[in-house]
Amino acid sequence: MGYLKRPLIFMLVIWLPMEVSYAQPTGMSAITGGSYVPFYGSDTAVVTVDNFLIDQYPVTNEEFLEFVKKYPSWQRSQVKRLFAEEAYLTVWESDTVLGNAVLPQAPVTYVSWFAAKHYCQCQGKRLPTMEEWEFLAIADKQRSDAREDATFHQAILQWYEQPAPKVLPEVGNTEKNYWGVYDLHGLVWEWVLNFNSVMITGESRNDTALDRNLYCAGGALASTDLMNYAAFMRFAFRSSLKASYTLKNLGFRCAGVKDKEL
């Protein structure tokens, strides 16, 4: 039996690079669009996303360092307060030196939405929309939608419960998901383009209606609510953000449009 395993392993080794090769630009995965019903919606509130490209990994410190070297107005001492609060890149040693407190291959954090958005623009990319990001986030290793699986949510929630490690690990250490994308869960939270989207459907009205719709779920946890509790946490987190905020556990990755040459 022992030697039978070898060809299998051998096949796996050649098969893996082939799987990665469908991502057209280096480091990006091509995502086939689709539809899903987000946790806050009724059956009629189906979200549809188009085909798009997504970075396989969050943007790293090293990559962001290259960016600020090229665009000095985004260096720590140069950035305007409107675009990033004081803690911007605070763990770096200086404007253009990473120092010992961060790993070059770890995700860049302490970046504002403005900085993330601008970084992506300067790569000819953009931030993913919330709808795109959530579409990717419902996939596990084998399935594009793993939300029916309780263990999938437990794993995510378990990560949410843990405090961020003192030094963030390098990107790519979590399991690759169905789309060939890493680190959506288990490393850092990520900025999305429209983080300031509201979370309800219906006629526009006072914010109180929004709160009621959201926080009712906390009082009456049915199985569908539990299924989406992780998503609910993300929405609640995003709605607490402002565009200039910079946090220790908040990074980003970029997206692109599939038929656009990058």
Partner 1 sequence: MKQLWFTCFSIVFLNSCQQQETATQKAQDIPVDTEVPELSIFQLPSQWTTQDNQEIVLEELQGKVLVMAMIYTSCQFACPRLVADMQRIEKEVAVDKRSDINLVLISIDPEHDQPDTLKQFAIENDLDPARWTLLQGNQDNVLEFAAVLGVQYQKISPVDFSHSNIISVFDHQGVLKYQQEGHGQDNTRIIGEIEALVPRDN
Taking the C-alpha atoms of residue 26 and residue 56, their distance in angstroms, rounded to an integer, is 9
Which residue from 254, 250, 239 is spatially nearest to 90, judged by alpha carbons?
Answer: 250
Contact between 76 and partner 1 by CB under 8 A: the answer reads no
Query: How many residues form the binding site for partner 1 (CB under 8 A)?
Result: 48
One-letter amino acid identity for 158?
Answer: Q
Contact between 42 and partner 1 by CB under 8 A: the answer reads no
Identified binder of partner 1 from the candidate list 43, 97, 205, 220, rule CB under 8 A: 205
Q: How far is the CB of 81 from partner 1 (least distance, A)?
A: 4
Identified binder of partner 1 from the candidate list 145, 174, 243, 248, rule CB under 8 A: 243
Q: How far is the CB of 80 from partner 1 (least distance, A)?
A: 5
Positions of E strands within 115-237: 189-190
| Beta pairing partners, 186 | none
Site for partner 1 in 126-185 (CB under 8 A): 126-127, 129, 131-132
Q: Give the CA count within 13 Å in the CB-facing half-sphere of 18.
A: 5
Q: Would you say 6 or 205 has its CB closer to partner 1?
A: 205
CA distances from 127 to 26, 113, 115, 141, 231 (A): 17, 9, 11, 23, 19
Cβ contact 141:220 at 8 Å: no
Identified binder of partner 1 from the candidate list 122, 150, 216, 236, rule CB under 8 A: 122
Contact between 75 and partner 1 by CB under 8 A: the answer reads no
- Distance, first Cα to last Cα, the chain: 47
Applying CB under 8 A, the residues found at the interface with partner 1 are 47-50, 71, 73, 80-83, 113-114, 117-118, 120-122, 124-127, 129, 131-132, 193-208, 210, 239, 242-244, 256-257, 260
